[in-house]
Amino acid sequence: MSTMNRRGFLRASALTLAAGTLGTAAVAAPQATAQGRILGTVIDYAAGVPSAASIKAAGHLGAVRYVSQRRPGTENWMLGKPVTLTETRSLASEGLQTASVYQFGRAETADWLQGAAGAAVHAPQAIALHVAAGGPTGRPIYVAIDDNPTRTQYVNQIRPYLQAFQAALTLAGYRTGVYGNYNVIDWAIADGIGTYFWMHDWGSGGKIHPRTTIHQLPQNKQKVIDGVTVDINNVYATDWGQWTPGQSGTVTPPAPPAQQPALDVNQILELLRRASRL
């Protein structure tokens, strides 16, 4: 086998394994479906951390928080990244809950630009920061596609990124959420990616996808709490991916198909890392 063919074979093997695991997860996980009416609101923020008491006083159910580090150039203002155990415990003390989202890069540094190889870098960080903040297994981590991509970008980069990320999350005992616009959510559902869907309006044409779990309102709906600008999100499902620190995991990850040996998350991430170096 030539060097080039060997590289292609190894890359395909790693991604096929990820996709095979994905298929099992998509069948096993119940769907978090929009209820058709707004059940409440949650906030998300990156510039700072409002107090839990103020979030509660503003009438919100909780917050979607970043399990990702500040990207270069944002160290002095993106003070709300990453979420901490102190913060999630404070939210819980006020009867509020947390959901997790991963986004490190943006625009020309978007996490999905490297496709499946990008997931080998970002998925371990998402899981580690979720755990450090008290996040249990059995809950989703939303994977951010903070763009209005073309179909070609989705097929060639975003889909393999999300597939590999979902494979890693599933094997570690987590579910997958997708943060994206109407099209990204629609395409991901068609590909069996995700159980929870957080929709933003960029490129959505004023439509709300019927499978939306939470919907991020446009920028002109932002509010300020304790001096921190926050996004407001309408909640459409009783299960929006929320958790409290110390909560027991609620989902046992599905077993791989019988013809495949059981792999843990470190093994599949190593396969993805190898693929990224080819």
Domain 3-277 fold is TIM Barrel (3.20.20)
| Percent of residues, the chain, with pLDDT higher than 70 | 77
Q: Are 93 and 58 in contact (CB under 8 A)?
A: no
Q: Which residues are registered as beta bridge partners of 144?
A: 179
Given a cut of 60, whether residue 214 has pLDDT beyond it is: yes
Given a cut of 70, whether residue 250 has pLDDT beyond it is: no
Q: Give residue 84's pLDDT band: very low, low, confident or very high (50, 70, 90).
A: very high
> What confidence tens digit (pLDDT) does each residue in 133-168 have?
999 999 999 999 999 999 999 999 999 999 999 999
Residues in the chain: 278
3-class SS at 5?
helix
Q: Mean of the per-residue pLDDT values for the chain?
A: 84
List the single range of 6-20, 96-110, 223-237 with lowest mean pLDDT.
6-20
Q: How big is the CA angle at 186 (ends 114 and 216), to the nearest 5 degrees?
A: 85
> What confidence tens digit (pLDDT) does each residue in 97-139 have?
999 999 999 888 899 999 999 999 999 999 999 999 999 999 9
Q: Give residue 278's pLDDT band: very low, low, confident or very high (50, 70, 90).
A: very low
Q: Give residue 12's pLDDT band: very low, low, confident or very high (50, 70, 90).
A: very low
pLDDT, residue 267, reads 53
Domains in the chain: boundaries: 3-277
